[in-house]
Amino acid sequence: MMCARAIVPFAAIALTAATTGADPLPPGSIGLLVGANAGTGPDANALGLGPTFGAQATWQPMATEQRVGLLGFKLTALFGQLYLGDAGRVSDPLRTLQFDLMYSMRIRPGANPSRYLTLRVGGTLLRTDQEIPPNMNRAYAGAIASVGLDQHAFGLLFNVDVRYSMLGARPGMLGLVFGISKTGP
């Protein structure tokens, strides 16, 4: 009888734990970005390199029990200044504004349910304050791809991304950006 009384509370706790779902990660975030951009390939000399800053918003619904999240989106707006480039003929630096909309996939590489690798692809719009050779345009549309790391901690999302934009079109840019965002529903 004594043994049965001791087992009942443990059985209730075990049943409750078994029926409770995994904690969901906050699906949305909005925050700030800071980093650097540089021209790549034939555009390296034309664009130069320099700092960038902006804002990001993400939506990536996923539970902590999932190792792979196939649905997510990230929107970024980045203001940049590129120094030491040939395209900055009128004034140095060459100022840029870049908008990106990317489809996102997350992969949890280990046991930590708050750290994820991210893979993103999408479209980008680039606007500069001066014409960029050889096309001599100021507005461009193209593709973007990024790989990164997301870390959830203290109700915030910390992330780092390596980005390559304008795949298959000119100008090509490579960027490294760090972000911090407030997460929530």
**Region 53-71 average pLDDT:** 93
**Region 94-118 average pLDDT:** 94
Tokens of 106: 């997350």
In this prediction, residue 108 has a pLDDT band, given cuts at 50, 70 and 90, of very high
In this prediction, residue 64 has a pLDDT band, given cuts at 50, 70 and 90, of confident
> Please, which residues have CB within 8 angstroms of residue 8's CB and are 6 or more apart in sequence?
none
What does the radius of gyration of the chain's CA atoms come to, in whole angstroms? 22
**Region 24-39 average pLDDT:** 93
In this prediction, residue 23 has a pLDDT band, given cuts at 50, 70 and 90, of low
Instruction: Between 87 and 48, name the one with better pLDDT.
Output: 48
| Strand runs labelled E in the chain | 28-39, 49-59, 68-69, 73-82, 94-107, 115-132, 137-153, 156-165, 173-184
Give the distance between the most distant pair of CA atoms in the chain: 90
In this prediction, residue 170 has a pLDDT band, given cuts at 50, 70 and 90, of confident
118-145 confidence digits (pLDDT tens): 999 999 999 999 988 888 889 999 999 9
Q: Taking the model in full, what pTM does it have? A: 0.82
